[in-house]
Chain A
């Protein structure tokens, strides 16, 4: 589908692109509302909603009590009325008090009422580590979301995708959890925490159309084509992976999943059948992580094409430690070790 108003593009970081998506949608759809802790006058602790209240008014963009159960529950009721709520949960780590409203209510409303009522809600929330957030500001709960029937889970990895995916999520008539990798809000992360941060402006994906465009949910992107192996990643890990692969001179095919549910199984299957090897990389804890689902799908569909066991590179099964953050993070050493192993097998 051709973008509707791509007359001009602007260099945006991920925060600006997310802000632009909400700005465009607030302008197009008077049923959309933005709500969350500190999102109004102040514009959000990560500035994702900066300027939106001033431009669109207090009844469209407003602060809420510190009460995630209330934020999501109220959004469900607003959706039942006919609004299109876009609540922000300040950190993904804070979503748990609202989980019952998400799992038992938002996700099941269409099903249990046979579409009498729907929940066209997009919950935006920053996730992942790498900012010294400690165990309560660093978690990656995506596999909790993908385990819920009736919720879509989206994770962008760059400004262009973030805006197009967020617009598609807001326009979707089902609940979407939109997880924003906060480590790459301001620039793609190489995985080397001791090197200077590269800003988004040096990256092609920072050229973002100012108007409305969509990136269809459920479609992965091939970030790098290659023959040696397939790497499945999303969010921050896309950039870390790309850095290591290029440093090692490996001809890897890197697939950025972008949407975890619904998953682009065709892109995965085609690539793994071509390369015969599959490495899965995520920052979240290992056991029952989304990598387990991916590994199962790959062996179910590509077993006779595999030349080596499917490998996973993940965070460890511990809470995210504060001072040992970079020891926890699945960085260059862990990825390089896995790459060497899977290519040797």
Chain B
């Protein structure tokens, strides 16, 4: 007989040291508390020098811990990071961001009306995708997470195709296979959105490595949230990017919340997310993600750096998720309702509008007219899309499409299963059934 090992001394101090204690992160404010963001460090708008695009990562570490800003809270653009965009370009940026918001509001309502299963807004985060995309070349490849509808809008992807996908209707070119908002648009440099988190990170690095190995001039850019920066894929990607000096831009959209888990569960209590770059020897920039000009300037800096073989950049967009994670979420259950309204960096659309008005290039009347115009555009497009069907009201795709594209050529076992399903279809709906 073997001897029974002694039981672990659970819960009893093994020495006269104070007992160990386990830290479980807890956000500072819960529903019912009065939140106060007064202690968030906000450096002066012109306080951050802009290093050259070829600067060695070790020589610019402080940028991973600071905050790049361009727009001050009075609407003026200041400092070395000011990208000095023309008023026309600024108005285009504003229009795209307003279109994203109008689209989000309309599609959120469509979900609440039972026309689709799911939707995700990006309210308050529009700059992190729209301004970023505008600073890229049209041929650069974007590997989005699920909250970057702004990329498609900023690349003039047809709204109706987005809606058809959201409704999984007859017009959905993904044949109703994907959850709403998991778009795919190769002609617009937009990679197929996965439902798994941060998987796109190493894929973007692979695309960038391929581009570099072929002597191409196009770069890759990728987004994830601060929550999913905890995934192994994130760290795999940064390792490969630094090893091969890949021409890629990593965006972490730090919107403070991953469903109900605050950024502390991804390590945000200890350091910044941009500081992840430091350990990998990658350039890191921490920026005001609600400042569209800071987002544009940082992306432009990183794109120039990547395109001149100076390697990858990690950009932390410090922002706030003003709405729930998705239509399946209720943020009032875990955070104070007024948090979004007291976020010290305001709203990206308001801030760009204020800047244009400060320049004398915009006014309230034009703004209201544009808001109405975009709302009408979204509404009209929505009507057109709904003519092609909405989710759950009839089945919109021929049943055999379920088996297509598993492989390029359908093997026998899928052909057999397809025949089985067609027999089920006939048994249930009769021989003359057609997709609705």
What residues make up the interface of A, taking CB atoms closer than 8 Å to B?
33, 59-60, 64-65, 67, 69-70, 72-83, 85, 97, 100-101, 104-105, 109-118, 149-150, 152, 172-174, 218, 261-263, 265
Q: Are B203 and A73 in contact (CB under 8 A)?
A: yes
Which has the most chain A C-beta neighbours within 10 Å: B178, B194, B220, B405?
B405
- Taking A77-B209, A262-B413 as given, write out 6 further A-B residue pairs in contact, using a Cβ cutoff of 8 Å, ordered by the A residue number: A77-B206, A78-B206, A81-B211, A111-B406, A113-B186, A116-B184
Assess whether B27 is interfacial by the CB under 8 Å rule. Answer: no
Residues of B within 8 A of A75 (CB): 206
Q: Are A263 and B413 in contact (CB under 8 A)?
A: yes
Q: Are A114 and B237 in contact (CB under 8 A)?
A: no
Q: Contact check: which of A70, A105, A265 meets B236 at CB < 8 Å?
A: A70
Which has the most chain A C-beta neighbours within 10 Å: B201, B206, B213, B232?
B206
Which residue in chain B gives the minimum CB-CB distance to A111? Answer: B405
Assess whether B192 is interfacial by the CB under 8 Å rule. Answer: yes
Assess whether B173 is interfacial by the CB under 8 Å rule. Answer: yes
Sampled A-B contacts (25; CB under 8 Å) = A64-B240, A65-B239, A69-B202, A69-B236, A73-B233, A74-B206, A75-B206, A77-B208, A77-B209, A77-B210, A78-B207, A79-B206, A81-B210, A81-B214, A85-B206, A100-B233, A101-B202, A104-B195, A109-B192, A110-B407, A114-B174, A114-B405, A115-B405, A116-B185, A261-B411
User: Are A104 and B177 CB-contacts (below 8 A) given A77-B206, A77-B220, A115-B405?
Assistant: no
Assess whether B21 is interfacial by the CB under 8 Å rule. Answer: no
Assess whether B182 is interfacial by the CB under 8 Å rule. Answer: yes
Q: Are B412 and A262 in contact (CB under 8 A)?
A: yes
Q: Contact check: which of A74, A79, A104, A262 meets B202 at CB < 8 Å?
A: A74
Q: How far is the CB of A293 from chain B (nearest CB, A)?
A: 10
Q: Are A74 and B196 in contact (CB under 8 A)?
A: no
Q: How far is the CB of A76 from chain B (nearest CB, A)?
A: 5
A77-B207 Cα distance, complex, nearest whole Å: 5
User: Are A78 and B412 CB-contacts (below 8 A) given A69-B202, A114-B173?
Assistant: no
A77-B208 Cα distance, complex, nearest whole Å: 8
Q: How far is the CB of B162 from chain A (nearest CB, A)?
A: 15
The 8 A-B residue pairs whose C-beta atoms are closest, nearest first, are A77-B206, A73-B202, A70-B236, A74-B206, A262-B411, A77-B203, A81-B210, A113-B192
Residues of B within 8 A of A261 (CB): 411
Q: Are A114 and B202 in contact (CB under 8 A)?
A: no
Q: How far is the CB of B406 from chain A (nearest CB, A)?
A: 5
Q: Contact check: which of B196, B202, B208, B210 meets A82 at CB < 8 Å?
A: B210
Q: How far is the CB of A38 from chain B (nearest CB, A)?
A: 14
Residues of A within 8 A of B236 (CB): 65, 67, 69-70, 73
Q: Are B174 and A77 in contact (CB under 8 A)?
A: no
Which residue in chain A gives the minimum CB-CB distance to B195? Answer: A104
Residues of B within 8 A of A262 (CB): 407, 411-413
Q: Are A77 and B178 in contact (CB under 8 A)?
A: no
Q: Are A117 and B186 in contact (CB under 8 A)?
A: yes
Assess whether B191 is interfacial by the CB under 8 Å rule. Answer: yes
Which has the most chain B C-beta neighbours within 10 Å: A74, A85, A116, A152?
A74
Q: Are B220 and A67 in contact (CB under 8 A)?
A: no
Q: Contact check: which of A65, A78, A149 meets B210 at CB < 8 Å?
A: A78
Q: Contact check: which of B173, B208, B408 meets A173 at CB < 8 Å?
A: B408
Residues of A within 8 A of B151 (CB): none
Q: Are A81 and B177 in contact (CB under 8 A)?
A: no
Residues of B within 8 A of A64 (CB): 240, 243
Residues of A within 8 A of B406 (CB): 110-111, 149-150
Assess whether B199 is interfacial by the CB under 8 Å rule. Answer: yes
Residues of A within 8 A of B68 (CB): none
Residues of A within 8 A of B213 (CB): 33, 59-60, 83
Q: How far is the CB of B264 from chain A (nearest CB, A)?
A: 25
Q: Are B240 and A74 in contact (CB under 8 A)?
A: yes
Q: Are B232 and A69 in contact (CB under 8 A)?
A: yes
Residues of chain B in range 185-225 having any CB-CB distance to chain A below 8 Å: 185-186, 191-192, 194-196, 199, 201-211, 213-214, 220
Q: How far is the CB of B19 from chain A (nearest CB, A)?
A: 36
Assess whether B175 is interfacial by the CB under 8 Å rule. Answer: yes
Residues of B within 8 A of A82 (CB): 210
Q: How far is the CB of A158 from chain B (nearest CB, A)?
A: 24
A83-B208 Cα distance, complex, nearest whole Å: 12
A101-B199 Cα distance, complex, nearest whole Å: 7
Q: Contact check: which of B143, B199, B206, B408 meets A174 at CB < 8 Å?
A: B408
User: Are A73 and B237 CB-contacts (below 8 A) given A80-B207, A112-B184?
Assistant: yes
Residues of A within 8 A of B211 (CB): 81
A301-B220 Cα distance, complex, nearest whole Å: 50
Residues of A within 8 A of B214 (CB): 81, 83
Residues of A within 8 A of B233 (CB): 69-70, 73, 100-101
User: Are A81 and B240 CB-contacts (below 8 A) given A104-B199, A105-B196, A117-B186?
Assistant: no
A76-B239 Cα distance, complex, nearest whole Å: 16
A154-B385 Cα distance, complex, nearest whole Å: 44
Which residue in chain B gives the minimum CB-CB distance to A72? Answer: B202
Q: Are B174 and A113 in contact (CB under 8 A)?
A: yes
Residues of A within 8 A of B243 (CB): 64-65
Convert B239-264 into 0s and 1s, putting 1 for each residue whose CB lies closer than 8 angstroms to a CB of A: 11001000000000000000000000
Q: Are A104 and B194 in contact (CB under 8 A)?
A: yes
